[in-house]
Structure 1
């Protein structure tokens, strides 16, 4: 009888411990878990870019499907600047002349062809307001990321909007050496 009571008590305590680890609704941990599980989404935005050589305003369309993505940048008159996509391990960039270029690293490919240093792979997380495991993060009064420092980049989240119960960034600034990016997201779609 004593063994049964000990086993029952241990099972009950392990059940309580499991429940205690579950993130309370509305907490940053619950938000972070939901963002990590968000594998399919798309957005449209305005992207301001400033480098030592140029400055401009572009339209950005991004569609993410698990680890694959398509990022399309067009200028103010709607002409393609470039179309960048990743499928599996292959990254392909189609430039404004329709020429296709391939590489294994999106950041290197974009920098080589445009001169812009864009943190493409990290951006798919940062754009959702999801810091990486080793990123330095400060949080706002609601527990959402306010700034992130990682990979030589500094991000400032300037606004959030609530979409389907998630707080997603609506405006953010990114800076790295002589590159500054300002992103104003017009529309989120979550699948």
Structure 2
């Protein structure tokens, strides 16, 4: 599948400074946050491709919908999980199903997206077995997990919680750059 992408340019999002220790105080609240949505720019860099997409993600408990569109608003893919069923609608409107979202996206696009882990990582929540380095305010700065390296480059305060505003994720020859422009909690 060939998708025209533009190179991700700089991010105009400005993160605020967090008071020391605030992330650890909110960690249990973040773990209980199961309904949220966000809009972001997603840069994807692979050996064969370099570009930018708009990302919309809506999480409802264990179900989600992740929509990626190109710069002119054309669907690159629409990935969802409903009641355990994973479905992807590609840019041609074809429906595909699989048991594993990451494998399905990779098979159809060549993009390595850690879909299942991203639902937690995007909130700044590393897993228990993840290797984590913290910043001066006690928030995750670098996480190593499942072969991925995550660098949290900025946070912003949303509804009293410190949430990531920018992150870089890298795995083998894939780099993802995420710049979150809007969070909505419990939509």
TM-score for the superposition, normalised by structure 2: 0.87
Q: What SS does the aligned partner of 1:168 have?
A: strand
1:86-101 equivalences under 5 Å are 86-101=81-96
Matched, 1:183 2:165: no
1:59: which partner in 2?
Answer: 54
1:73: which partner in 2?
Answer: 68
Q: Deviations over 1:70-119 (max 9, x none)?
A: 00000000000000000122100000000000011000000000011100
2:41: which partner in 1?
Answer: 46
Q: What SS does the aligned partner of 1:175 have?
A: strand
1:116: which partner in 2?
Answer: 111
Cα displacement (A) at 1:27:
4.2
Q: Find the aligned partners of 2:161 and 2:70 in 1 and give their Cα distance.
A: 30
Q: Find the aligned partners of 1:29 and 1:146 in 2 and give their Cα distance.
A: 13
Which residues of structure 2 form unaligned runs of 5+?
A: 1-20
Q: Find the aligned partners of 1:179 and 1:56 in 2 and give their Cα distance.
A: 12
Q: Find the aligned partners of 2:141 and 2:23 in 1 and give their Cα distance.
A: 12
Cα displacement (A) at 1:30:
2.6
Q: What SS does the aligned partner of 1:143 have?
A: coil
Which of 155, 161, 175 in structure 1 is aligned with 2:156? 161
Give the CA RMSD over aligned residues.
0.8
In 1, are the aligned partners of 2:24 and 2:138 still within 8 Å (CA)?
Answer: no
Matched, 1:132 2:127: yes
Q: Deviations over 1:110-132 (max 9, x none)?
A: 00000111000000000000001
Q: Find the aligned partners of 1:177 and 1:165 in 2 and give their Cα distance.
A: 36
In 1, are the aligned partners of 2:24 and 2:139 still within 8 Å (CA)?
Answer: no
Q: May I ask how many residue pairs the two structures share in their alignment?
A: 166
